[in-house]
Amino acid sequence: MTPDEILAYPARVLSQSQRESYFEHGYLLVEGLIDENTIDHLQAVTDSYLNQSRLLSESDAFFDLAPEHCNARPMVRRFKAPDVVDEYWQFANGVVADVSADLLGPNVTFHHSKLNFKWPMKSQSNAVGWHQDVPFYPHTNYNVLAVGTYLTDTLEKDGPIQVIPGSHEDKLYELYDDSGNWTGKLKPKDAALLDENRAVSLPGPRGSITIHHGRAVHGSQPSHGENPRPLLINAYVSADAFPYTDGGATLKNYRKIVRGKPASWAHHDPRPCPIPPDWSRGYTSIYEAQSKK
């Protein structure tokens, strides 16, 4: 569906001007959308899983551990697919799915979730390098987006998501180095050409959501504080967008319809896209890829 076709459907949560702004700039910040009770509940569930991680010494299917992780200080970089837990899955099916329908059209498929943290680390930066999401999971069309929910107040010093406005209408980048190794971020020579002065930071109080288009160039700066900045990301695609790769096949809720109905026709965008490595047996994490020299 084109933006005009999507905008012709009545909005569920967002205002018409928020929807138009998303299509023009490729991102949106909606402050304080999620109510306090829901955030308190998600935060309590998150704390209980962080506690469980104390017993681990290496990453597993759920926890991506930072090098400094230990029993006394559980430093988890990411919960890899939190939607396997009922509370997170219910959240992924709630208001953030309605927001996605406002921007993808009435028929929406869940793609994946992750809960990213930023702990102060000595061994490596906790920045996330510039990248686009579509080269991780290319689809037949670009009605692909990710909704981030801040579980704590997130200030500029905490390393909020940053987006280059309008980049969703620009080119797609290969996220490989010059030797053909997957890095999950733009090549230094491509990143050097980005106009970083135009980057927009999206800080917000707990319960705020960020939305970025699957083609939008985004990342985040290192954090400078003790706030581990839990950011719960749920990614959705329009039901008529079909994956070119089977990277999500091992995920429990991958390609479940969360709004509307399945598509009987695929929609194809003529703009080509790069293809990621074969992750059909599972994907590790963006941190793993980006931290390799």
Q: Mapping DSSP to helix (H, G, I), strand (E, B) and coil, where does residue 25 land? A: helix
- Choosing from 59, 220, 227, 290, the residue that interacts with ligand AKG (CB under 6 A) is 220
Pick 105 or 230: Cβ nearer ligand AKG? 230
Closest approach of ligand AKG to the CB of residue 136, in Å: 7
Site string for ligand AKG, 135-164 (x = CB under 6 A): --------------------------x---
Smallest CA-to-CA distance from 176 within 289, 35, 97, 29 is with 289
What letter would DSSP give residue 145? E
d(CA 241, CA 266): 6
By beta-carbon proximity to ligand AKG, the closer residue of 74 and 214 is: 214
Cβ closer to ligand AKG: 1 or 286? Answer: 286
Give CA–CA dist 124/14, Å, rounded: 38
Beta-strand pair 144-150/231-238: antiparallel
CA distances from 281 to 122, 248, 255, 277, 284 (A): 31, 9, 17, 11, 10
Site for ligand AKG in 103-122 (CB under 6 A): 114, 116
Site string for ligand AKG, 175-214 (x = CB under 6 A): ----------------------------------------
Span between the terminal Cα atoms of the chain, in Å: 40
Q: How far is the CB of 62 from ligand AKG (least distance, A)?
A: 16
Structure tokens at 151: 């579980």
Q: Tokens at residue 50, please? A: 């962080």
According to the binding rule CB under 6 A, does residue 34 interact with ligand AKG? no
Residue 128 CB, nearest distance to ligand AKG (Å)? 4
Give me the residues that bind ligand AKG (CB under 6 A), please: 114, 116, 128, 133, 161, 218, 220, 231, 286
